[in-house]
Structure 1
Amino acid sequence: MATTKWSIDPTHSEIGFKVKHMMFTNVSGKFGTYDATITTEGDDFENAAIEFSGDIASIDTANADRDNHLKSGDFFDAENHPKLTFKASSFKKINDEKYEITGDLNIRGVAKTVTFPVEFSGILTDPWGNTKVGLSIEGKINRKDWGLNWNSALETGGVLVGEEVKLNIELQFAKQA
């Protein structure tokens, strides 16, 4: 069976995250520049090869000062580590709509194996004749596992920035000829 390559459609995808601020509200952000590819056997996504990279410089939380702090050595250290990457080691089918993805997430030069549930929305043809597939990924990571340790204690107790990062990723891929 021939291999099929799928490229990300960035106009219909979003790499989002949320982190608690002052222990009680969420601050949302996203990466504006990223790339991802999937390689499958035909149109079968079981055991697909999936790779992703995101440009740290493109981080956007709707606040320039916060974005610059996230790019600094206190967090992502964009100067020395300009990209975060993910390479799947497994893409396992649970049922027609659910998969599980496992792979190495590399942030700030630290690679850790993570597993996330994936909602597979199926394969369809758009109005312009392009074959598309949609994936939704939600998960959680602890930012300290990758050396993103900066924080500030609050006078009232607790910390300024939560350790848990919630991921909300919507991906649309186009089948390549």
Structure 2
Amino acid sequence: MEKTTWIIDPTHSEMVFKVKHMMISTVTGNFGEFEGKLETTSENFEDAVFEASVKTASISTNNTDRDNHLKSADFFDAETYPEIKFVSTSYESGKLTGDLTIKNVTKSVVFEVEYNGTAVDPYGQTKSGFEAVAKINRKDFGLTWSAVTEAGSVVVSDTVSLLVNLQFIKQ
């Protein structure tokens, strides 16, 4: 079968993260600017190769001060490291393994993936949808800023949940 390329439809996709704040609540954020593609010769995507890049400065948690802190050298250092990248190394049985690069640190990450199906939209475009989740330790990627409250609580958890909902357009 011939190789097919699919590109991310950004208007129907999202890249979200969740992290505990003071270990009592969860802060949700997202990246608003990203692009990516997958290539496959299989209709069920079992041999899919996926790559994506995210604009680090597009981070949003609906709080300007926190967003600016996340863009600073304390966290993502968006000016020095303008992109986060992911390149898959394998996809099988609902598990997408790949290399995630943040701040020039690359680590292998495994996403649990749910394929939601393929359909043709009203404009004749063939689209496929996926939901993927993973957990990473932010400190593994050089995101080491930390603080402790007067009561001894950690301000930001080391564990970050990644939730990626992607719709692809067949090319």
Q: What residue in structure 2 maps to residue 3 of structure 1?
A: 3
Q: Is 1:131 the equivalent of 2:126?
A: yes
The aligned residue for residue 154 of structure 1 is 149
Specify which of 111, 135, 155 is matched with residue 140 of structure 1.
Answer: 135
Residues 109, 134 of structure 2: 8 Å contact kept: no
Deviation at 1:29, TM superposition (A): 0.3
- 1:42 positional shift: 5.0
Q: AA paired with 2:128?
A: V
- Is the contact between residue 129 and residue 167 of structure 2 (CA under 8 Å) also seen in structure 1? yes
- Name the count of aligned residue pairs: 171
For the 8 Å contact 1:22–1:162, the answer to whether it is kept is yes
Q: Which runs of 5+ in 1 are unaligned?
A: none
Which residue of structure 1 lines up, in the alignment, with residue 68 of structure 2? 68
The runs of 4+ residues in structure 1 deviating greater than 6 Å are none
Kept in 2: contact 1:4–1:43 (CA 8 A) = no
Q: Distance in 2 between matches of 1:42 and 1:156?
A: 54
Matches within 5 A, 1:82-161: 82-92=82-92, 94=93, 99-161=94-156
Distance 1:149 1:54 in 2: 20
Question: What one-letter code is carried by the residue in structure 2 that aligns with 1:112?
Answer: K
TM-score normalised to structure 1 length: 0.94
Once the 2 structures are TM-superposed, how far is the Cα of residue 43 of structure 1 from its aligned partner? 2.8
Distance 1:44 1:5 in 2: 13
RMSD: 0.9
Deviations 1:41-84 (A, max 9, x none): 15341121100100001000001111111011100111111000
**What are the ranges of 5 or more consecutive residues in structure 2 without an aligned counterpart?**
none
State percent identity of aligned pairs: 51
Alignment correspondent of 1:29: 29
